[in-house]
Amino acid sequence: MTIDVLAFAASPRRHGNSETLLDWVLAAMEAEGAAVEKIVVAEADIRPCRGCNICETLNRCVQRDYMDYVHDRIIAADCIVLASPIYCMGLAAQAKVLVDRAQVFRSRKYVLHLPVVPPERKGKRMGIFLSTAGQNWDYVFDAAIPSVKCFFHVVDIGNKDLRYLMVNGVDEKGAIARHPTAKDDAESLAREVVAHLREVGAA
């Protein structure tokens, strides 16, 4: 069984700390036999939500951009990984655009009362949030978590199926490589998630 992993690198800066953390996770997942796709959000044509609520009648976004593809991949994936740095105590703008455009799924679930994924796949998918922050404060990730939970909730990945790896005190580019446990933690998390998905029969 091949595990289908869809990952979002949601930093405006390529190959920074959060994307490095993501790459460690994805490499370890691939080593376990998972099929991995990484989307660099800053390089994709993903426009901000317009707040028009037309998705409440159309069951799709009125905008025609790369999110047409992303919406379908979100539904198909067994595991969705969102990686974002913390900017100004919250998600980077690129990550927030992705979260906001998931409004389509909220409309599908709660207004149109349609399934997001087939019933037999519920509870067989997982989400991972990876994040890095320059500050050492214990609470530096707190403001981002509700948005992250909202994103995963509307795509039918519940709290019990979410995993987090958040590393603070890594500010300048490349600092994550000097962190004493980040790479080992990333690889361990990847193996745990792939093993769990195989156990529940995700694909």
Convert 102-134 to b/e letters by CB count within 10 Å (16 or more is b): bbbbbbbbeeeeeebbeeebeebbbbbbbbbbb
Mean pLDDT of 163-171: 96
Q: What's the pLDDT score for residue 202?
A: 59
pLDDT tens column, 85-138? 999 999 999 999 999 999 999 999 999 999 999 989 989 999 999 999 999 998
Say if residue 172's pLDDT is above 80: yes
Q: Using alpha carbons only, what angle is made at residue 129 by residues 48 and 73, rounded to the nearest 5 degrees? A: 60
Q: What's the pTM value of the predicted model, to 2 decimals?
A: 0.96
Structure tokens belonging to residue 180: 């004493």
Q: How far apart are CA 155 and CA 108, in angstroms?
A: 10
| CA proximity to 131, closest of 188, 190, 94, 91 | 91
Q: What is the pLDDT of residues 30-71, one digit of tens each?
A: 999 999 999 999 999 999 999 999 999 999 999 999 999 999
Eight-class DSSP state of 53: -
